[in-house]
Amino acid sequence: MSLLQQGNQRQLQCKRVVIKIGSALLTANGQGLDHQAINHWAAQVAMLHEQGIEVILVSSGAVAEGMVRMKISARPDDLPALQACAAIGQMGLIQAWAGALLQHQIQTAQVLLTHDDLADRRRYLNAGDALLRLIKWRVVPVINENDTVATDEIRFGDNDTLAAMVASLIGADLLIILTDQEGMFDRDPRKDASATLLSTVRAMDESLLAMAGGGGVLGRGGMVTKVRAARLAAKSGCPTLITSGQTSNVLLRLVQGEALGTLLTADEDRITARKQWLAAHLQTAGRLVLDNGAVEAIQVKHRSLLPVGVRQVEGHFERGDVVECVNLNGERIAVGRVNFSSQSARQVIGQPSERVHEILGENRSVEMIHRDHMAIY
């Protein structure tokens, strides 16, 4: 995303956006799902699609909707009751989104994730692949925490964190958090009417945490989890915009350049952030020895690493591990996230790309390390 701000204009040029909508908004403050609001957001999502913007929704509201359906007035304290409410409410939630998006000929996919799914590398990569395929098919994933299987220890607890993890997983260039306030204020506006709205701040600015308070009756984390989520997203180079979901045509107005809400900027762009993370990776799982052609392709032409230029594979690693690339003299050229396990890599080194598919018998990317996942020394 590139940013240009002037007066009440703020140009957000984004191609892939994660939009998180909180419980308080979705359930019309505990009155049951707000179908009118859902239809309104769905219409805007359809327009973003028309502009070529990819959209992933993270939708809360299952517990709140389950409570309404079961006529439970106060949020239960015990986990089984919360899980049961989530299971009941999630059905209504996904039906509402599917129906609303289908009016615009858009298919919806329900994706329920736990922290465990994203902590385990294989499941993390698989979840990412599935989401990217859904986006490619122009389907809108509607993500929520899998509350029914999530135990106390592994609960994200709030969908702000989940949304930030998803944004980082799929390389989103903007995270939009829609809530029941106009944005982030210098103190909780529910408690102090003189609070002032922040327009653009650095997500990593430590002073923000002291300004952010807890949540309302239906929401979970309040502003504090939103700021933490923004910091998490910023580490992957993704900025976060917090604004009110009640503002009419909010999503369209944002992409048209209106400076609504609070923008929490990331210090680096997505690719720089990823490369810095990789460069700081001292422990690598294995080593690839490159021939001179591959070294030149990487260092001079900034290309991805193809199996044809790899002479030797050392160590045992899995797909997604960080490995070191060295030249024929053993000098470090790059580190990067590898697309093959060491076993598959050994089968394809020295082979031209056409042969890689034949050898592995799979429909997969032929790059051993994509250039966006590589830090060059």
Ligand X SMILES: N[C@@H](CCC(=O)OP(=O)(O)O)C(=O)O
Ligand Y SMILES: Nc1ncnc2c1ncn2[C@@H]1O[C@H](COP(=O)(O)OP(=O)(O)O)[C@@H](O)[C@H]1O
Nearer to ligand X, 221 or 286 (CB): 221
Bridge partners of 374?
Answer: 336
Identify which range of 122-130, 137-145, 173-181, 266-274 contacts ligand Y by CB under 6 A: 173-181
Nearer to ligand Y, 21 or 313 (CB): 21
Q: Which of 141, 219, 309, 336 binds ligand Y (CB under 6 A)?
A: 219
Q: Which helix (H) or strand (E) holds 274?
A: helix 270-279
Minimum distance, C-beta of residue 193 to ligand X, in the bound complex (Å) = 23
Q: Which helix (H) or strand (E) holds 235?
A: helix 222-235
Residue 278's CB: how many other CB atoms inside 10 A?
19
d(Cα 76, Cα 58) in Å, to the nearest integer?
A: 23
Is 179 annotated in a binding site? The answer is yes
Nearer to ligand Y, 24 or 112 (CB): 24
216 binds, among ligand Y, ligand X, none (CB under 5 to 8 A by kind): ligand Y
Token look-up 């018998």 returns 361
For 320, residues 6+ apart whose C-beta sits below 8 A from its C-beta are 121, 122, 124, 125, 337, 338
> Per CB under 6 A, does 189 bind ligand Y?
yes
Q: Which of 44, 83, 114, 159 binds ligand X (CB under 6 A)?
A: 159
Token look-up 């939103």 returns 226
- DSSP sequence for 50-83: HTT-EEEEEE--HHHHHHHHTT--S--SSHHHHH
Please list every residue from 125 through 154 that binds ligand Y, using CB under 6 A.
none
How large is the greatest C-alpha to C-alpha distance in the chain, in angstroms?
71
Minimum distance, C-beta of residue 241 to ligand Y, in the bound complex (Å) = 14
Beta strands in the chain (DSSP E): 2-6, 9-13, 16-21, 54-59, 108-113, 140-145, 174-179, 200-202, 240-244, 262-265, 287-290, 310-314, 322-326, 332-337, 374-376
For 272, residues 6+ apart whose C-beta sits below 8 A from its C-beta are 237
Is 159 annotated in a binding site? The answer is yes
> Per CB under 6 A, does 62 bind ligand X?
yes
Nearer to ligand Y, 184 or 335 (CB): 184
Identify which range of 37-45, 49-57, 180-188, 248-256 contacts ligand Y by CB under 6 A: 180-188
Q: Which of 211, 238, 254, 345 binds ligand Y (CB under 6 A)?
A: 211
Nearer to ligand Y, 100 or 184 (CB): 184
d(Cα 30, Cα 279) in Å, to the nearest integer?
A: 47
Sign of CA dihedral 174, 177, 183, 187: negative
Nearer to ligand Y, 174 or 368 (CB): 174
Residue whose Cβ sits closest to ligand Y: 22
Is 60 annotated in a binding site? The answer is yes
> Per CB under 6 A, does 117 bind ligand X?
no
Minimum distance, C-beta of residue 160 to ligand X, in the bound complex (Å) = 6
In eight-state DSSP terms, residue 187 is: S
> Per CB under 6 A, does 158 bind ligand X?
yes
Is 180 annotated in a binding site? The answer is yes
Please list every residue from 220 through 239 that binds ligand Y, using CB under 6 A.
220-223
For ligand X, the binding residues (CB under 6 A) are: 22-23, 60-64, 86, 144-145, 147, 158-159, 219-221
For ligand Y, the binding residues (CB under 6 A) are: 22-25, 60, 179-181, 184-185, 187-190, 211-213, 215-216, 219-223
